[in-house]
Amino acid sequence: MTRQAAFKHRPFRIHRGLTLVEALVVIAIVMVLLGSAWPQFAKSIERRHLDGAAAQLATDIKLARSLAVAHNAGLRMSFRSSPAGSCYVVHNGAASDCSCQAEGPAMCINGAVARRSVFFAPGGPVQLQSNVTSIVFHPALGTSTPTGTLRVVARSGAAVHQVVNIMGRTRACSPNSVPGYAAC
């Protein structure tokens, strides 16, 4: 058998793989599915930011109350909101003794010491609003003065309120029916 004859009788091989058209169709289908799922994904991310910030705020309120009792010294939680962002600081001293910084720790004067500070950047996923400038936690009684409502608000307007009562305890609620929270 000649060499030319060997090539003629060889079985035909099937090539496996995707054509360019098939790959483009698969990519188009994936893009349509991602496009339809993206709004729900963005809502879910926003909700996680809102839940996380509200839980952290409630934890820090409990921390301030506990530290005041444990150290037998009054502690204050001060709140600030401005175009540069919003924040809170747990500290001793007067309400104006400590202020938040966008980067780094809180700045304190007159011997005040910041125990904890949290800053919410402008345009960030959530902002903090408060109807009081500060709350003082009494060391012997564990009470707070004054009472206040602290609002963690997402970009969409969804909000979780942390309501601090005279005993220094918090309860979480939502004025616009965020799932998982009681109505305010």
Q: What is the pLDDT of residues 47-101, one digit of tens each?
A: 999 999 999 999 999 999 999 999 999 999 999 988 888 999 999 999 889 988 7
CA neighbours closer than 13 Å in the CB half-sphere of residue 34: 6
- Domain locations in the chain as residue ranges: 18-183
Length of the chain: 184
Per-residue pLDDT at 1 exceeds 80:
no
pLDDT for position 8: 59
Report pLDDT digits (tens) over 132-166.
999 999 999 889 999 999 999 999 999 999 999 99
CATH number of the domain at 18-183, please? 3.55.40.10
Does the pLDDT at position 14 exceed 80? no
37: left (phi over 0), alpha (psi -120 to 50) or beta: alpha
pLDDT at 7 over 60: no
Give percent of the chain above pLDDT 70. 91
Amino acid sitting at position 172: A
